[in-house]
Amino acid sequence: MASAAPTLTRTETDSLGSMEIPADAYWGIHTARADANFPITKRPISVYPDLVRALAMVKQASARANREIGVLDPERADLIDRAAQRVIDGEFHDQFTVGVIQGGAGTSTNMNANEVITNIALEMAGREKGDYAFLSPIDHTNRSQSTNDVYPTAVKIGLSLTLRSLLEELDLLRRSFLGKAVEFHDILKVGRTQLQDAVPMTLGQEFHGFATTLGEDHSRISENASLMFEINMGATAIGTGITTHVDYAPAVLKHLREITSLDLETATDLVESTSDTGAFMSFSSTLKRNAIKLSKICNDLRLLASGPQAGFGEINLPAMQAGSSIMPGKVNPVIPEVVNQVAFAVVGADMTVTMAVEGGQLQLNAFEPVIAHSIFQSITWMRQAMWTLRVNCIDGITANRDRLGAMVGASVGVITALTPFIGYAAAAALAKTALLTNRNVADLVVEAGLMSRDEVMKQLSPARLSGLEAVTAAIPIISPEDLIEI
């Protein structure tokens, strides 16, 4: 039996010794050591493509800045620039193999980027991978840089890029709820407080409220996104700028702004910016707020659709899969349920970020990898959760008009609308009588001689009950035209 062909390798050396690296790998010895040291999550950094792109953007901007200020010759700077662009364009992402959770404050991620981009550049120059005497991952690709400014800057840029798709999906979800608000604008229902019958409203108003709260979250997340725009490039190890040219920081900022199209700014205190990770905590808490509010909406949807016979049964969620292996015909609200679970994970991720921020010591926070992973995961999962909620649930919701109408007709809560005319005490007494005797509230008010039939029916009209037609200035007017506004 013929033996397998030997695997071709190249020898690379670092301060710890030498290792054999697969000849076709674009990564090198630093990445190989990290792969051996951190087999924790089995999830490489390439699961977050925008982080990989952001790393390449930082390397590209640094190459251009180093060439501009004269600390890197044009040939090498151009090779690094062009190699980084290929990564930005989506090539070689499979070569970013280090785990998302790693020790070393992100050094393994930074070196993974340095090695891959360097070896791409060497190949483009017609040289062998690993020919670091000509182009070095550290002396050239990492020139004027440290992990401690590259990594947090790349994380902030990557999060900013990823956030765009989240905000787009959040707005689409908001619009989906608005569409249902318009569709349901004339359907009267019983409102509830503390799970007890309250006063009437329209189903459209309920869905409009969902849309409004999501719109508020869109604004809050957008505002907090600006926290990601302060970077510390030029800080190098601890913020003192050691090994950098005095002109490097403004030069790399200029090129990063051009490459990313983000309104980036260099921190005024690089020592503080290198050690402080509070911006990540604030940003994460905003994501948690959105997740919690979205989860609350899903709780409401599950309640409103509960039944179909022994629950609220006010709306119908699209049937997406069989709900039981033992109960025939059972259908569960699986889409809101999965969104609930994503929200729980986001809350946990936010706690992880909080503890990691607190765990920083002196001039550096060593725990930025778990901060980055936690926030990237939250954004990614929330975006997908919003998509499935919109496409597989909200867009297909229908209303049980007859059931809603019957519940409003039997509701004692409508007497609240008559309190300005008959007084609270009389209204309370008649409500109690209606509950005990199962009588109609309107009939009891007329029989008591408190209002005429016409007056009662006018005040108990759907428009008055839901606030669509104002009785006093204190009642907001919500019309179908208002609901359509985006």
Distance of CA 302 to the CA centre of its chain: 22
At 436 the three-state DSSP class reads helix
Cβ(191)–Cβ(213) below 8 Å: no
Residue type, 344: F
Residue of 46, 44, 21, 29 lying closest to 115 (CA atoms): 29
β pairing state of 398-399 and 315-316: antiparallel
Contact 280, 359 (CB under 8 A): no
C-alpha to C-alpha distance for 171 and 60, rounded to whole angstroms = 33
18 is a catalytic site residue: no
Rounded Cα distance between 80 and 75, Å, is: 9
What sign does the dihedral 245-246-252-255 (CA atoms) show? Answer: negative
Identify the CA nearest to 30 among candidates 122, 102, 134.
102
Q: Tell me the CA end-to-end span of the chain in Å, nearest whole number.
A: 71
Q: Report the distance separating Cα 224 and Cα 222, nearest Å.
A: 6
**Residue 159 corresponds to which tokens in the numbers above?**
């999060």
Q: Which of 324, 374, 378, 466 is catalytic?
A: 324
**Residue 69 φ/ψ, nearest 5 degrees:** -90, 0
Is-contact 219 250, C-beta < 8 A? no
Catalytic residues: 324
